[in-house]
Chain A
Amino acid sequence: MGTISKIHEMLTTKQCSCTELTKSYLEQIEKSNPELNAYVNVTGDEALKAAEAVDKKLAAGEEIGMLEGVPMTLKDNLSTKGIETTCCSKILTGYKPIYNATVWELLQAQNAVMLGKTNMDEFAMGSSSETSYFGGAANPFNTKHCAGGSSGGVASAVGANIAAYGLGSDTGGSIRQPASFCGIVGLKPTYGAVSRYGLIAYGSSLDQIGPITKSVEDAAIVFDAISKQDERDSTSKGSSEETYSKLDNDIKGLKIGIAREYLDGVRDDVKEAVLEAAEVYKSLGAEIVYFDLPALKYALPVYYIIACAEASSNLGRYDGIRYGYKTAHYNGTHDMICRTRSEGFGEEVKRRILLGTYVLSAGYYDAYYKKAQDLRGSIIRSFNDAFENCDVILAPTVPMTAFEMGHAVSDPIETYLTDICTVPVNIAGLPGVSIPCGFNAKGMPIGMQLIGRSFGEATILNAAYKYQQAAPDKFMDTKWGVKL
């Protein structure tokens, strides 16, 4: 068990069969999932069937690809044909898609072994996975703390080694933040690099699917596998270059920018860890440049206006007529829809639907939605300007480490504020990767993110890889895991 390349080696050198490997993962899930609540649906039979196919190939002496037979997981908002896909919402309970998300099609074509679907904040709305209908996912470092969100289940599973890797989605930080909280790697690709077809939408102009992995190499391998142009998603372009083969390029002279605004309001331990990482980069020959990014102060309101507006429209379809939850007693169609939605959605989802409906409504559209779109433009321009003077931007992923369970739910506004470092990347459509860069006094992991130019995944992953090599001790494992 471990990273993708380690598992690949184990399989090809016949240290174990894919079936044995899958079984051991399933056993581990059975043991640790009750405490972690990472998986909401374990698909053991399907996993073993997929493993069998890989074993047949191995037995026949055929070559296998890097991802073949590697046990993994998908966030529960990625459509899987015939397998319940709920977005961890009551309203989608029992819903089994009749088609596969493009990313799952791509991975299935490589004989990926899916162990199950993982926990998340309901409809990806949240920062702790606690808005999940199935309860929150725990942090492998300390199960009293949350795994983060919204892709908390994937991060918890990968961090606890009950999946080699997983796919999450990131609308305002939902891949990077839980990766940071769980001490692992999370890549939010450039908007358009990965097809969104089959990803159950939250904020369509912000959503991107990306890998959550134990190492930077793994993130590159998975990203290369899923970043294909897809004609079913008009906004998809695919990636212009391979990233895995470009790791380990020299970063001498690489200009790493630090925006002062990114460090405002960040807890001291986090700030220190990030600045320490900057020193590591200096020692590797990179140049650190400080700059100002004043537009950053608009990022949070812009994000919440746009994401909620789009969500209010995207979530209109859950009416109990065609699939999912439907209220038991009602009086006419209108009443049925009202009751189904009132009973089917959780508080946070309702809050965001209301907010989104409000900012789009007649008389308020100009003051909120239109203004947010205009500001989105100026944030994009600010990033473009910043990249005139640097190649990569270094920033904390989250201003703090993983919250204790229950904290996020009790104060939604404070929780919204914790997205400050992650949302700008989504607003500008840029790629960002979160990697671990230290631990706080209580032993909880700290993450930092490297932000790149549009479609600059190869550059940020290479920079991340260089750091991983220079500071391997930051990439620690948990009590369930093994070292890289």
Chain B
Amino acid sequence: MKYELVAGFETHIELSTKTKIFCGCTTQFGGEPNTHCCPVCIGLPGTLPKLNREVVRYAIKAGLAVHGEIAEIAKMDRKNYCYPDLAKAYQISQLYAPLIIGGYVELSNGRKIRLHHIHIEEDAGKLIHKHGDTYVDYNRGGVPLIEIVSEPDIRSIDEAKEYVERLQQVMRYIGVSDCKMQEGSMRCDVNISVRPEGSEKLGTRTEIKNMNSINNIAKAMEYEFERQTDLIESGGKVVQETLRYDDASGTTSSMRSKEDAHDYRYFRDPDLVTINISREEVEEIRASLPELPAEKFKRYTEELGIPEKDAQLLTKYRKISEFFDEACEGVKSAKSVSNFIIGQIFRRTETEADKEQFDVAVKPKQLNELVKLLDSGKIRNNLAKSTLEKMLDSGKGALDFISEADMGGVDDNALLELCKAAVESNPKAVEDFKNGKEKALKALVGNVMKNSRGKADAVAAEAKIKELIG
């Protein structure tokens, strides 16, 4: 029997507000242990939380970017559990009235992964195990998080990977989080079950906690899918439990069973008042959103004629797409702009981090000027390409490398003269070509290009030479 994978995600994303969710401490990553702390975020007796309204705005932004509905009234609840990194023994979160309801993330195969809700909450501190002792660092305690809870709509590991990538991409675009999985500013819990293909009923799920890389998510899901399938095939039953994934062995192991599941004793936090969100505020935030990657992708492919594969590369990071948009202003061929970026500039930004930063020597305006010269026929593609390399090396503009003499193009008469000269001065090559050596033709065209200082149209020159000697 063939089995189908069913998965849903709970994704925690740290918001990049300057200060924490309930006090004025910085949210900066790192720092000496327990230096980004105050009486409120270490939960000293008698202190009270004060909601940072900026967190609400960031979360609304995130909600709008994934098509969620923004609640008019939201409330904060306490999630009670005891762990040394949680200074108050409860996390202030949302259960009964979350900020954002519904929404979806659309994948490249056209499927929409529905979202159940998004809520805001505070992060916990961190335990550090050293010299056989355990230390607590509360710097991260109180850093604002959103938790994005999806429906069990994911059907494959590829979809899972793309879902996480899409979330990462859109959250970075709108600037609410850097979504660095390795630094923990984005973490996923994966709920996974299997069922016979064609079945509508959900199988018993397990939850893999705290995944911190897309690679590990894929590996853990693969392992868990096989484990559950094997179990069912051999007549066993999947037990509902919480698992941890061990990177070294590539296996999952049980953290706690359903019976041991925490009872969080959620209740409304009496220290915080109801959050009211006016429709004006929502519209104001909506208007401030940049063009989102999915929208850009659609525009690039449908309006600018960029191939889908290229459009994906251009929209992956906000800075690249903004570079592209600026460089495209007023040009005839957006495709040329795209080709220069993907073909040449990308070679200067090797890592993903470089691409995300996209801090290259050439400014979008300079590329724009270069493409406009090409558009107008003043220069040819070869010259443009070599000029761009020089621009990337130096940071200078196109006109620093192209003289007046280089421009103006080569008209048909001039081209004919150049071709004639090439044929006359290279009898050997002409002879070779006549004897069937196709390559010899390239040498003749090369001669034309050299003498025209790259301005001649190589395709036209080749046709002309064939005419002359053929």
Contact = CB atoms under 8 A, between A and B. Distances in A.
* A and B from one complex: yes
Given A316-B80, A316-B88, A360-B80, A205 B270 contact: yes
B232 interface: no
A310 B87 contact: no
Contact of A321 (B50, B136, B267): B136
A199 B45 CA distance: 8
Contact of B84 (A98, A235, A319): A319
B421 interface: no
Contacts of A78: 46
B45 A92 contact: yes
Contacts of A197: 46-48
Given A310-B270, A319-B89, A362 B46 contact: no
A198 interface: yes
B54 to A, nearest CB: 15
Contacts of A101: 46
Interface stretch (B10-18, B36-44, B160-168): B36-44
Contacts of A85: 45-46
Nearest to A236: B48
Contact of A317 (B43, B265, B270): B43
B128 interface: no
Interface string B59-90: 00000000000000000001010101001111
A255 to B, nearest CB: 32
B414 interface: no
A234 interface: yes
Interface string B249-275: 000000000000001011100111100
A13 to B, nearest CB: 38
B45 A97 contact: yes
Q: Which bracket fits the contact residues of B?
A: 20 to 34
Interface in B74-128: 78, 80, 82, 84, 87-90
B199 interface: no
B51 interface: yes
B375 to A, nearest CB: 59
Contacts of A360: 80, 265-267
Contacts of B136: 321
A231 B50 CA distance: 8
Contacts of A309: 267
A235 B273 contact: yes
A362 B261 CA distance: 11
Interface residues of A, number: 42
B87 A199 contact: no
B394 interface: no
Given A204-B271, A316-B90, A317-B88, A234 B51 contact: yes
Interface string A86-98: 0100001001011
A200 B50 CA distance: 16
A357 interface: yes
Interface in A188-205: 196-201, 204-205
Interface string A70-105: 000000011100000101000010010111010000
Contact of A322 (B42, B46, B90): B42
Contacts of A77: 46
B134 interface: yes
A369 interface: yes
B265 A234 contact: no
A201 B136 CA distance: 24
Nearest to B90: A313
A234 B273 contact: yes
A46 interface: no
Interface in B423-461: none
A99 B134 CA distance: 27
Contacts of A479: none
B45 A95 contact: yes
Interface of B: 39, 42-51, 78, 80, 82, 84, 87-90, 134, 136, 263, 265-267, 270-273
Smallest CB-CB A-B distances: 8 pairs = A316-B89, A205-B270, A360-B265, A204-B270, A200-B45, A198-B46, A79-B46, A200-B46
14 contacts: A97-B46, A197-B47, A198-B46, A198-B47, A201-B271, A232-B48, A233-B48, A234-B50, A309-B267, A313-B80, A316-B80, A323-B44, A357-B265, A360-B267
Given A101-B46, A361-B265, 17 more contacts: A78-B46, A79-B44, A197-B46, A197-B47, A198-B47, A199-B46, A204-B270, A205-B270, A234-B272, A235-B271, A313-B80, A316-B88, A317-B43, A317-B89, A360-B266, A362-B263, A362-B265
